[in-house]
Amino acid sequence: MPREMAYFQGKIVPLEEAKISVKTHAFLYGTACFEGIRGNWNEDQGVVHLFRIREHYERLRRSSKILKIGLALSDDELCDLTTKLVEQAGFTEDVYIRPIAYKSQEEIGPRLHDIEDDFLVFVMPFGNYLDPDAGIRCMTSTWRRVDDLGIPARAKVNGLYINSALAKTEAQENGFDEAIMLDDRGHVSEGSGENIFLVRDGKLITPAPSDNVLEGITHDSIIQLAKDELGIETVERSIDRSELYIADECFMTGTAAHVTAVTEVDRRAVGEGGTGPITKQLQQLYFDAIRGKNEKYAAWLTPARPKKEQAAGQRVNA
Ligand code: PMP
């Protein structure tokens, strides 16, 4: 039977054995950074394709640098270990992988220096996060995206996600699917867990990295697909709130969210109010690429072949 598993304190173990103390610094202060990686199941090939896993670990290394967390393993070791974990877990469906580099010491007092750190990663089954077929209705949040001067959004810091959670809950409790956060200059930054694109006059427009956004890997993939497959250029620049209302199309991108059309912002239909033609094409290109259906983008994928027999409860050295 497939099971959720973790690499924890140097070993691959069933998820229920991966436990931290309540005094763990990362739990007390949010002093951790993480990644979200998808593994996309291809039934015909019998393979879970891990999407751009190396780029995720490179970003984890950059986040860790900002938080003064040391990563003992190399990128190669992290990729190999994660592939092995997914194979060992044995899921023959889409999975989500959550690596976390965290301040593991049991210690009171917020700081980043002189605190022991550790790395863990776990894998679990994961379906759709948003509805990529229907698209989503968004509101601009009353919560401002935290500025680089406060907590850097380009680092995927666990504690930073309070900002996202405030915005997401406000949006959902007001009957919307997702929030669009503005930064404190009033520029559009991103969703609670997604980057944002507009389509205007056949071009893609997206906030620049300096507009307090996470430098998204799906975002980067979409820019490449738009250029190489559709000949569409992307302009990175600041976007005003009102520009959301008059865009031809709008969509969000993210590991969990994939490519999802924004059909409405603040009760104003975006374009015709459905998934626009460019969004639709990009969605198709992206889904084919992540599931191993387009050879041209095979370099983005790392295959994991799920094992039929799990080492039930048995400790396996990574
Ligand atoms: N912004 C935020 C705040 C996120 O949490 C995510 C999800 N990781 C993204 C953007 C999209 O990044 P990626 O495409 O690398 O998943």
pLDDT tens-digit readout, 56-71: 999 999 999 999 999 9
Candidates 23, 68, 84, 156; catalytic one? 156
307 is annotated as an active-site residue:
no
Residue 311 has a pLDDT of: 64
Mean pLDDT of the residues in the chain: 96
- Tell me the domains of the chain and their CATH numbers: 5-127 (3.30.470.10), 136-296 (3.20.10.10)
What would the mean pLDDT of 187-205 be, rounded to a whole number?
Answer: 98
Instruction: Check: CB of residue 57 under 8 Å from CB of residue 83.
Output: no
Q: Tell me the percentage of the chain whose pLDDT exceeds 90.
A: 94
pLDDT tens-digit readout, 82-103: 999 999 999 999 999 999 999 9
- What residues contact residue 19 under an 8 Å CB cut-off, 6+ apart? none
What would the mean pLDDT of 203-219 be, rounded to a whole number?
Answer: 97
What would the mean pLDDT of 268-277 be, rounded to a whole number?
Answer: 96
Pocket test for ligand 1, best of 34, 214, 258 (most atoms within 8 A of CB): 214
Residue 310 has a pLDDT of: 75
Instruction: Check: CB of residue 178 under 8 Å from CB of residue 138.
Output: yes
pLDDT tens-digit readout, 109-121: 999 999 999 999 9
For ligand 1, atom 6, the nearest C-alpha belongs to 193
Ligand 1 neighbour 71 (Cβ under 6 A): no
What would the mean pLDDT of 250-264 be, rounded to a whole number?
Answer: 97
Q: Which two tokens stand for residue 11?
A: 């070993």
pLDDT tier at 315, thresholds 50, 70, 90: low
Ligand 1 neighbour 36 (Cβ under 6 A): yes
Residue 108 has a pLDDT of: 97
pLDDT tier at 132, thresholds 50, 70, 90: confident
Ligand 1 neighbour 217 (Cβ under 6 A): yes
What would the mean pLDDT of 231-260 be, rounded to a whole number?
Answer: 98
Question: What's the pTM?
Answer: 0.96
Q: Is the pLDDT of residue 269 over 80?
A: yes
pLDDT tens-digit readout, 291-314: 999 999 999 999 999 998 876 444
Q: Tell me the percentage of the chain whose pLDDT exceeds 70.
A: 97
C-alpha distance from residue 197 to each of 18, 103, 205, 282, 293 (Å) = 38, 34, 6, 12, 24
Ligand 1 neighbour 33 (Cβ under 6 A): no
